[in-house]
């Protein structure tokens, strides 16, 4: 069975600092995809970044980067130069070979001015 | 943006009544999903569809049914709502690329 684990229920970061949100996954699939979503207090789910299991380079999207360590089955999200607007829930997700998506329980990030 | 619309956005219903939530997409994507979001549980898959009339159960499907008679619409029905089904429900779509997965705005359902 597929499983996504986010071990940090809550995180705090100083404005302008970098922060890493942890995500580990468990799958026996060879082909899969990893996603990160942001959910602000307004409730919508905003796509941030994607990493494919065969991608050799870590994905980057602006201030977001995904630290992909395949052998360790981890896909940590790194947010650089944190901003107040980054305060939100962050969810890690995995798409398996059958196109089912599995989500972690989320990490609540608070950016401190 | 895959043009996903969920309706209604908010609903309060009484225990024992049937409720149907609608997810509508404008781009003919094949895969559609219904999730529920509860504190401490993240998002859990209720049902998903991989084509017209092709649906399958997720990990929390008890008490829910779905239908997909047209590519653009995926309906979630609570046959007889219970208080444990009070939740936020999200529809999601897998885009045409493996790198894409989009969500609707969510429906907040309260069963009293």
* Mean pLDDT in consecutive groups of 10 residues from the start of chain A, 113 residues: 90 98 95 96 94 94 97 97 97 93 95 97
Q: What count of Cα atoms within 13 Å lies in the side-chain half-sphere of residue B27?
A: 17
Q: What is the reported pLDDT for B1?
A: 53
Structure tokens at A103: 């989500």
**Which chain A residues contact residue B41 at CB under 8 A?**
105
Check if B95 contacts A (Cβ < 8 Å).
no
Question: A109: Cβ–Cβ under 8 A, 6 or more apart, which residues?
Answer: A10, A11, A12, A13, A19, A21, A79, A86, A87, A88, A89, A90
B86 to chain A, closest Cα gap in Å? 16
**For residue A48, which of A17, A80, A25, A72 has the smallest C-alpha distance?**
A80
Q: What is the reported pLDDT for B100?
A: 85
* 8 Å CB contact of A101 and B42: no
**For residue A107, which of A99, A93, A97 has the smallest C-alpha distance?**
A93
Q: Confirm if B6 and A54 have CB atoms less than 8 A apart.
A: no
**Which chain B residues contact residue A100 at CB under 8 A?**
45, 48, 58
- Token pair 């046959």 is found at B79
Report in angstroms the alpha-carbon separations of B34 from A28, B22, B24. Answer: 24, 10, 12
Q: What is the reported pLDDT for B2?
A: 60
Which of B43, B46, B61, B103 should one mutate to test binding to chain A, selecting the residue with the greatest count of A CBs within 10 A?
B43
**Which chain A residues contact residue B105 at CB under 8 A?**
43-44
Collect the ranges in chain B with pLDDT lower than 70. Answer: 1-2
């Amino acid at each position: 069975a597929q499983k996504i684990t986010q071990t940090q229920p809550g995180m705090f970061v100083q404005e302008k600092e970098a922060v890493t949100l942890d995500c580990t996954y468990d799958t026996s699939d060879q082909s899969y995809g990893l996603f990160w979503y942001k959910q602000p207090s307004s409730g919508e789910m905003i796509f941030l970044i994607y990493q494919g299991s065969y991608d050799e380079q870590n994905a980057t999207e602006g201030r977001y980067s995904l630290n992909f360590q395949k052998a360790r089955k981890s896909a940590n999200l790194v947010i650089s130069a944190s901003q107040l607007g980054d305060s939100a829930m962050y969810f890690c997700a995995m798409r398996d070979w059958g196109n089912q998506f599995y989500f972690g329980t989320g990490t609540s990030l608070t950016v401190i001015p | 943006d895959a043009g996903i619309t969920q309706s209604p956005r908010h609903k309060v219903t009484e225990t024992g009544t049937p409720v149907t939530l609608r997810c509508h997409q404008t781009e003919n994507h094949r895969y559609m999903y219904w999730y529920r979001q509860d504190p401490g549980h993240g998002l859990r898959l209720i049902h998903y569809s991989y084509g017209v009339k092709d649906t399958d159960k997720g990990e929390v499907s008890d008490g829910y049914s779905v239908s997909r008679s047209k590519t653009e619409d995926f309906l979630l029905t609570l046959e007889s709502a219970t208080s444990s089904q009070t939740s936020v429900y999200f529809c999601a779509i897998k885009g045409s690329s493996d790198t894409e997965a989009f969500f609707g705005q969510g429906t907040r359902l309260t069963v009293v």
